[in-house]
Homo-oligomer: A and B are copies of this chain.
Amino acid sequence: MGRTMNASPADPFASLHLEHSSTVDRVAEELRRAIFEGELESGTPLREVALAGSLQVSRPTVREALGALVAEGLLTREPNRGVSVTTPDPESIHDVCRARFVLEIAGVRSWNDAPEPSRQAVRDALAEFAAAAGTSGGGASYQTLNERHLAFHLSLVGLAGSPRLQAMAETLYAELRLALAQVDRARQNAPDQAGSHTLLVRLLESGDVEATVAELERHLAGAEVAILERLALPG
């Protein structure tokens, strides 16, 4: 937003950026990665001293990172018993899907009022997803495919133009990624969704938001039963 207008404090270094990450942030990020990658099985207890030893940091640092992940819902803390990787139950999956449906239709409904960059972001997300899906058959990893899939849906929420809704959606998707990581080890089921995504964008471009909402409802309902089915398989 036009901050380059000021003359005196106009910073000629607006393009510079410095990563200001704390140790806690890095630990939390590493734990997230391990969880999404499926390296930590659901229910695995995360012992503070063991983690501190493995990561070469102190216990308070680990504790702080664990607290952040607990707040995100990825880990579950039982008082005096430690934290463990959250076990996704069907009820919570259903809740996440309901909640994300609310956020995504909010974005879809504001398609016509959304600024052009937000709309373009949706198209770009679709293109990236399609690219990953196209090179499938072993090329693009299942991980990136999943990531781009969620990125597309996140871009829909972005249409609403609200950072807070965006942040809420991100934590919801984090829970979905956790569930998917627990369920999948090598399976793939994305290609059938590529067509649905393209249809969604086509409907959006046509300006018929209500038709898009209806299609989105179908799409998400299908996604939910797919996840629930896979969750029910092993148990």
Determine if A71 is an interface residue (Cβ-Cβ < 8 Å): yes
Q: Chain A interface secondary structure, helix, strand, loop or mixed? A: helix
Determine if A95 is an interface residue (Cβ-Cβ < 8 Å): yes
Residues of B near A162 (CB, < 8 A) are 95, 98-99, 102
Q: Are B71 and A164 in contact, CB atoms less than 8 angstroms apart?
A: no
Residues of B near A38 (CB, < 8 A) are none
Q: How far is the CB of A17 from chain B (nearest CB, A)?
A: 14
Given A60-B60, A79-B22, answer yes or no on A164-B96 (Cβ-Cβ < 8 Å): yes
In chain A, positions 95-143 with a C-beta closer than 8 Å to chain B are 95-96, 98-99, 102-103, 106
Determine if A183 is an interface residue (Cβ-Cβ < 8 Å): no
Query: CA A34 – CA B160 in complex, angstroms?
Result: 33
Residues of B near A160 (CB, < 8 A) are 98, 102
Copy tally for this chain in the complex stands at: 2
Can you list 12 residue pairs at the A/B interface with Cβ under 8 Å?
A64-B64, A64-B67, A67-B68, A71-B71, A95-B164, A96-B164, A98-B160, A98-B162, A102-B160, A102-B162, A164-B172, A168-B168
15 other A-B residue contacts (CB within 8 Å) besides A20-B79, A64-B64: A60-B60, A63-B64, A64-B67, A67-B67, A67-B68, A95-B162, A95-B163, A96-B164, A98-B162, A98-B165, A99-B165, A102-B102, A102-B103, A102-B162, A102-B165
Give per-residue flags for A149-164: 1 if the beta carbon is below 8 A from chain B beta carbons, else 0: 0000000000011111
Residues of B near A163 (CB, < 8 A) are 95
Closest to A157 in B: B102
Residues of B near A64 (CB, < 8 A) are 63-64, 67
Q: How far is the CB of A176 from chain B (nearest CB, A)?
A: 12
Residues of B near A161 (CB, < 8 A) are 98
